[in-house]
Structure 1
């Protein structure tokens, strides 16, 4: 069995060298062209698991591998250069810069022509083309999230990681963002996503991980988890 494209395997750890463990033998993976979602109750360690994969956590056990390479010892900055595009939940845009400047900032690791990638981002998020000269801080919550995702795509990542991309947006905007995320995955780019809207996220997920207290409680396809009576009762409101 070959590895999934990205895997955080048997991760145990927490914040700071002396801090308590938040993750306990937790495994999360995503393959090319897949959408994998991490769901679970508040405080379950969902965002912590994502940050562990991105290198923002001290792992006491386990490892992270990207495209077959062990990257456990790399800093988040080094992981970006290895192909991780990470969109944090908050403070994920430069509010005083224009939309276009934000996208240009996303290409900071590149020294080639970025115009083609910029055009791809504008095709994916047409509203950003219309507002490209506007300060990003003036945009709606959903539009800001599009800027944040677009900026991550400007690095030409090998995998896209989204921490609660629909937090605080309306249901209509959530549906639109999910549609765009599906489009991204269809290009072959793996998408790993933490999401509070569990039911809607599992509906678009190829793979789902339900975490409870930093441990894997349930794992399966999105459809399997939606059909699982225990998952529905405990995490999806029946």
Structure 2
């Protein structure tokens, strides 16, 4: 079997010197696929993704990207390796324009960014329309598009999204999920934490259900949606 493109394997750890939040937790995503992490509040979903991005110390386990051990790299070094992370909140510069936000996403690049900017505007046409507007004046859904667009400006190989549809309307959620599918089809791997579990699993190639920082169920999104125990316990029957 070939190794996943990105894997956080048997991760145990927490923040600082605090108690472990993750317990032998494994999260992985294949190239150009969508992996979704779901579970109840306090299950360690965002912590698992932050661990993969290097934002907490692992006491056990490892993280590998395209076969390379990156367990001890800083988040900044992981960005340089092709990882992009969009946090749930405080994920845009509100006083800057939409276009300035996108330009900030390309701060590590030394090449011409106009082609990538055009791709982001193709993906999110509303951003092109509002490119001269302060990002703080946008709606919640539009702000999320700016945050995702800025991450895409790094030309990532893996895009990590923490609750991308939090606080947006169902229509905006569906639209964001459609764009996420488009990004994955372009060959970028997507690792996503999502509260809207049923809708997220519907677009997922792989799904992880976490409970108390450990893997409870792992399967394809389709199989998890069909699993009676998963449906009963985590999807409202």
TM-score by length of 1: 0.99
Distance (whole Å) between structure 1 residues aligned to residue 52 and residue 167 of structure 2 = 24
SS at match of 1:193: strand
Describe the superposition over 1:16-65 as per-residue Cα deviations: whole angstroms up to 9, x where unpaired: 0x210000000000011110000000000000000000000110000000
What is the match of residue 179 of structure 1?
178
**Is the counterpart of residue 5 in structure 1 residue 5 in structure 2?**
yes
CA distance in 2, matches of 1:33, 1:56: 24
- 1-structure distance, mates of 2:197, 2:37: 8
Q: What are the superposed Cα offsets for residues 127-152 of structure 1, whole Å, 9 maximum, x if unpaired?
A: 00000000000000000000000000
3-state SS in 2 of match to 1:62: strand
Task: Give a deviation string over 1:134-188, Cα, whole Å, max 9, x none.
Answer: 0000000000000000000000001000000000000000000000000000011
Equivalent residue, structure 1, for 2:37: 38
Q: Secondary structure at the match of 2:216?
A: strand
Aligned to 1:107: 106
Q: Distance in 2 between matches of 1:2 and 1:227?
A: 27
Gaps in structure 2 of 5+ consecutive residues = none
Q: What residue is the counterpart of 1:85 in the other structure?
A: 84
Q: Residues of 1 paired with 2:127 and 2:57: CA distance? A: 37
SS at structure 1 position matched to 2:19:
coil
Alignment map for 1:144-159 (pairs within 5 Å): 144-159=143-158
Matched, 1:51 2:54: no
| Count of aligned residue pairs for this structure pair | 237
CA RMSD of aligned residues (A): 0.4
Instruction: Give the ranges of 4+ consecutive aligned residues of structure 1 lying more than 6 Å apart after TM superposition.
Output: none
Q: Distance in 1 between matches of 2:143 and 2:28?
A: 27
CA distance in 1, matches of 2:157, 2:32: 10
SS at match of 1:233: helix
Q: CA deviation at 1:221?
A: 0.3
Shift of 1:2: 2.3
Deviation at 1:14, TM superposition (A): 0.1
**SS of 1:111's equivalent?**
coil
3-state SS in 2 of match to 1:122: helix
TM-score, reference length from structure 2:
1.00
Gaps of 5+ in 1: none
Which secondary structure state, in structure 2, belongs to the residue aligned with residue 210 of structure 1?
Answer: strand
Q: In the alignment, what sits opposite 1:132?
A: 131
TM-fit CA distance, 1:3: 1.3
